Amino acid sequence: MRQFQFGYKGQDALVRELRKIRQWSRTKIYSRMVFQVFIDIIDREAVEKVMDTIKDEIPDALIFGCSTNGHIINGELSGRTIAITCTVFEYPTSRVQILQYDLNEENESRVTSELLRFLDDNTWVTAIELLVTIRGMSMTGFSDRFRAARRDIAIYGGGAFNRDMNDDEACVFSSVGGYTDHGVVFVLMGGDDLHVETTYITGWKPLGRELEITKVKRNVLYEIENRPAYDTYYRYLNIENDENFFSNTLEFPFVFNHNGIQLLRAPTVSLDDGALVMTSDMYEGDMARISYGDPETILREVAREIKALNRFSPEVIKLYSCGARRTFWGSEVSRETAPFQLLAPASGFFTSGEFLRTKEHLNQHNVTLVVGALREGDVIEQKEMPSMEGYGMEFSGRVSMVNRLATFIQAATEELAAANRQLEMVAISDGLTRLYNRMEIQRRITERVNRFSDETEEGISTKPVSLIMMDVDDFKKVNDTYGHAEGDQVLIRLAEMLKRTIDVHAPGSVAGRWGGEEFMVMLPGFDLDMAAGIAEIMRKSFTEIGFDHCEHQTMSLGVAEAVSGEDPDILCMRVDDALYKAKKQGKNQVVRG
């Protein structure tokens, strides 16, 4: 595999570059020649002129490209309005084909269905590079449908963009479908000797506590923890809702887990009602955190990924970097892209969104650098890792100030969260037995029984719920004869037995201390017969416990199953009546209520 890269300097210069490539190819054997064209202005005439020139000089070439927020040539931000790469696939087994479709929210299902059918019929495809116009369009449905594609197909690419980040206009184009401002281009690659490795780099790290996304519609984030989303930025970062909102929040996108990986989403606009327009869709119920960007942290991640890619021995590297990263770095943007040139010719562009498939999920990223590495043939000899000296990747070992402050804040946040969890447990736990206290077990019974009643009334079949209530027989005699310390041991050992029995025989059930020597167990999914069986196991297990002074003790148990529409308090009274009968009938037994 070979790649040529150059900036556009006019038609005459383009023809000279193309003729150099054509002359080189006459002495070589190759299977496909693929040109990628980047343009950072919306100019259909200029695009078509470049494509026509390439076709005239190299008729069998495939061509594709898009508009960008800037493009990367030889690892560096290109200063040219148009830039061009030519990738030559040299192995005869390598295959490349381009498909192009018009794309909008009305036809995305048909487009993905057609592509998936093509993949089913063409098992040679092992990688897809995609370019797509996405501004103003939700890509969630489009991305989700790729779960049906074969797991061995790598997919990566980016959203077409515009020199002006506030302008939604963008375009994609190819030699098979021409120019369009609402479309997608798929470059399908495969063959026994073609290998593709993908990865992604964020470098942004979570900061502070998790926040629940409580109201969102596609990429408009309305509420976080039931408050206007903008409040989060004002409360934690003191960022005003003014003309500088975008630039001030750029270093602090949200990070959240989705499809098993971390995704970033940055706000672009704060609306008057406090809603935030995000760079891509977010999802209600997800837990998000503000993250921060630190140059040294980012570069360390770049260095780590470059070392990992070196083992792959790439021959060509494709870079799809978010336009927000270009803004973040400013004039130093090439610091994170130039080092890839050490491994292989590196090209790409600054996107409106990055796409990368992880396992079966095609995820839309933001504020992320997606990397696609290509190679033909096997690695014959592992290359020595090139020196990164001169690329700004020499680290002193000192941790940056922002990194240290963030680590401090994160540690303090985690300690506070742990303390709060401990306080919550104290509030709902019995101090002696460590089971739930009366208030908490009663709350859980009420919640579960009410849900059972509601679901049943709606005609939906649901699992039953039963209660076991127990009381240590003649417990006052233990305290009076052997002291309260021995009595406490009886209750503690009983609680331990309940936990063990639940773990083994009734997972998902909960136990609590009802008061004094009385205990309650709630068993979701257990009917009366099943609950009575568990109660008998508990009764027998308790009789087998030997205590230091009072030797063996017994307990009486009542069992009751909830009835549709029954008030939880009535259910508790019924199980209490069953326990009373067990006591009255001689103790050390289970009675059904």
Nearest 5 degrees, angle CA 32-CA 38-CA 42? Answer: 135
Task: Identify whether the C-beta of residue 300 lies closer than 8 Å to the C-beta of residue 343.
Answer: no
What strands lie across the sheet with 194-201, from one edge to the other?
Answer: 76-77, 71-73, 346-351, 316-322, 369-376, 194-201
Question: β-strands 267-270, 276-278: how paired?
Answer: antiparallel
Question: Which of the residues 301, 517, 544, 551 is marked catalytic?
Answer: 517
Using CA of residue 403, residue 397, residue 321, residue 306, what is the dihedral sign? negative
Token representation of residue 35: 């040109």
What are the residue ranges of helices labelled H in 238-294?
245-249
State which H helix or E strand residue 98 sits in: strand 95-102
**Closest among 389, 308, 357 to 157, alpha carbons compared:** 357
- The 3-state DSSP class for residue 110 equals helix
Count of helix runs (H) and strand runs (E) in the chain: 14, 31
Taking 3-state DSSP, the helix, strand and coil percentages for the chain, each rounded to the nearest 5, stand at 35, 30, 35
* Amino acid type, 368: T
**Closest among 551, 557, 547, 562 to 577, alpha carbons compared:** 557
State which H helix or E strand residue 468 sits in: strand 465-472
* Amino acid type, 343: L
Q: Which residues are CB-neighbours of 443 under 8 A, at least 6 positions away? A: none
In angstroms, the CA 557 to CA 555 distance is: 7
251 tagged catalytic: no
In angstroms, the CA 349 to CA 363 distance is: 18
Q: Which residues are CB-neighbours of 419 under 8 A, at least 6 positions away? A: none
Token representation of residue 455: 């679901």
Question: β-strands 32-39, 62-67: how paired?
Answer: parallel
* Amino acid type, 591: V
Q: What separation, in Å, do the N-terminal and C-terminal C-alpha atoms of the chain show?
A: 79
In angstroms, the CA 377 to CA 381 distance is: 12
φ/ψ of residue 301, rounded to 5? -70, -40
DSSP 352: S
Token representation of residue 498: 């309940």
Q: Which residues are CB-neighbours of 160 under 8 A, at least 6 positions away? A: 66, 67, 68, 131, 132, 133, 134, 170, 171, 172, 351, 352
In angstroms, the CA 343 to CA 324 distance is: 25
Neighbour count for residue 490 (Cβ, 10 Å): 22
Active site residues: 517
